[in-house]
Amino acid sequence: MTEGYRTTAEYKHIDVALKSFWKPFVELTNEIKSFVPQPLSAFEDERNRLSEKFQKLNPHMSAEEISEFAKQRISSSYSPDWQSYYLFSDRFMTLQVTITLLSHALCEAVINSLLATGHYEQRTHATFAEIQKTDIKEKWVNGPKGFCPEYELPKGSALYETLNHLCRQRNSWMHHKSHLHVGAEKIIEGSQLFNLPYKDAERWMRRYFSLPYDLATHAHAHTHQAIAAMFFYDRNPIPFANAHK
């Protein structure tokens, strides 16, 4: 290894930030899994208040009609799915956005550092200025080949699948555009977010947590760059994603 150069490690701030959300993520997912919705009978007081309100606003309706209307409203507003949504949606989405952005940032920090040091050691660092202009997926797939021709990150691999999924979700948040319809006509095609069922979203979030460290492990195994080893020697508390094994 070439002697005499130093490299900064501000990426550790991103590393620490991402790790800090693992415990809240696990706690929230456990809370969701153990959630038991309340029966509709628990909202009887709310149903009575709605009945009284609707009776005042609709004096021509019979008591039976009012009661049935209030019952339907309560059944809709406090269904098991809606109870879960009220309790968990905002917190889960906050974590999803945060983990997506931090994971993407750390993945880019890893590959940029790897490419900078790898090209310097091979005295090809003049090409780094051009390589670093490419997108993150191109950097991970082809960037290290400039100083390590045997390096490979197959596009059919689970690692690449997660990276591709992460990039699409990150770009949808960072460059968000709303869909716009006028009548039946779509005027603007907005961002394509992954609005997945909870269990699917959770699985992807676990992969996002793991991805920077798993990519670094992959890079170290294929290039033997010491800088890559720095990214995965202490990944605690984030476990290795099963999908990446």
- Average pLDDT across each block of 10 residues of the chain; the chain has 245 residues. List them in order: 62 94 98 95 91 89 89 91 94 97 96 84 72 90 89 96 96 74 70 79 97 93 72 84 93
pTM for the whole structure: 0.85
Q: Which of 25, 22, 74 is nearest to 48 (CA)?
A: 74
Tokens of residue 209, six digits: 């947590």
Tokens of residue 145, six digits: 């080949």
Q: What is the reported pLDDT for 232?
A: 62
Q: What is the reported pLDDT for 177?
A: 65
Q: What is the reported pLDDT for 125?
A: 63
CA distances to 3, 36, 53, 67, 77 from 61, in Å = 87, 36, 12, 10, 22
CA distances to 77, 121, 135, 146 from 128, in Å = 56, 12, 13, 9
Q: What is the reported pLDDT for 2?
A: 45
Q: Which of 154, 149, 106 is nearest to 124 (CA)?
A: 149
Task: Give the three-class secondary structure for 183.
Answer: coil
Q: What is the reported pLDDT for 128?
A: 74
Q: Do 228 and 114 contact (CB within 8 A), yes or no?
A: yes
